[in-house]
Amino acid sequence: MIEFRFTVDDLATTSFAYSPLQEAVFSLRCFNDPARFPHHRPWLRRIRPRLEGLDGELLTSLVAPWMWIPDFLTPRPDRARPAFADELDRVRLTEPDVVAADLRAAYRSEDALPPVVARGLTRPDRFLTRLADALDAYWHTCLAAEWWPRAQSVLEADLAHRGRVLAERGAAEMLPGLDARLTWADSHLRLDTRDFLVPAPWAGMSIAGRGMVLLPTLFARGAQPLIDPTRPPLLIYPARGRATLAEQPPPVVGQALVRLLGRPRARLLLLLAEPASTTELAHRLEVTPGAVSQHLAILHDAGLLTRTRSGRTVRYARTRLGDDLCR
């Protein structure tokens, strides 16, 4: 059991974020144990040919057999929606002794380190450069163009849902709702660690005015903290709706809906059971964002969709009338 101890002020500074760097690093878990992440199998099949030219030995060594990942690779985000490049720049500035210590902590002993890591730690500064370059190449080759827009939409939808729960029911219901491992009582958030693959590295932490950041991920089966309890408080939890990544666009059903809207708009309306961006919908339908945008504008003007801007991204969702039409 791990216990996070909150004060009222600590609850007031608890916030949500998501991290493209975290998702890139955590996605490497799929290569160590694909069976744990069945919703990512379609993506894995597509990207395997692209991995040939990457530093695969190093990338797969960043995940310990029990799925732990060195803390310096997942720094706590400094804003709700950081850019991958900015986060990777922070990793590049990690002190060499921290790189070495975090890798040893993830593997729990010097003897367990993979050969590529053990060799690299003889010159941790050079090893850090190689590691950051490998992650950058992996991001741009396998994730950024096709996978991340869809993944980001799932993470945005999760944050929107948690915000609604917090506003309507309060933190005492929102926090344990992040994962079945979590319970809330007496200003303490408790994480059950009985199903951890290895014993938890520590047992308790006071938030102590440092703020807690909650991060959804598509690559975890349960809530988890960082390895080092002295780092700023952070709790990672499974994102709601992550299984939708394995879904293919649904067929258009109901000829009345097709006759009313036309096949492209009917399919878009069916896809928007969960909020999504223009880019994600274009990827799923294998059409241009411009074509999708025109149809979305018409559906929005007809009162079938709402749209919400988050930074540079606009996400669409069905209205109640849109839901009724799809039943």
- pLDDT tens-digit series, residues 72-104: 999 999 999 999 999 999 999 999 999 999 999
Question: Residue 244 has which token pair?
Answer: 């939708």
Residues 6+ apart with CB under 8 A from 226: 71, 74, 234
Q: Which of 217, 257, 259 is nearest to 240 (CA)?
A: 217
- pLDDT tens-digit series, residues 244-278: 777 665 666 667 788 888 888 988 988 888 888 89
Is the pTM higher than 0.85? no
Cα–chain center distance at 316: 20
- pLDDT tens-digit series, residues 8-58: 999 999 999 999 999 999 999 998 888 888 888 888 888 888 888 899 999
Question: Residue 150 has which token pair?
Answer: 């869809």
Question: Residue 228 has which token pair?
Answer: 């080092």
Mean pLDDT estimate for the chain? 90
Where along the chain do its domains lie?
Answer: 2-15+151-243, 16-148, 248-326
Q: What is the pLDDT of residue 253?
A: 60
Q: Which of 41-50, 156-165, 177-186 has the lowest mean pLDDT?
A: 41-50
Q: Which of 59, 61, 86, 62 is nearest to 75 (CA)?
A: 86
Residues 6+ apart with CB under 8 A from 111: none
List the 213-217 sheet strands across, edge first.
15-16, 213-217, 234-238, 224-225
Q: Among 3.30.310.10, 3.50.50.60, 1.10.10.10, 3.10.20.30, name the CATH number for the domain at 248-326.
A: 1.10.10.10
* Start-to-end Cα distance in the chain: 44
Separation between Cα atoms, residue 7 and residue 184, nearest integer Å: 13
Angle between helices 263-271 and 278-285 (to 10 degrees): 120
Q: What is the pLDDT of residue 72?
A: 97
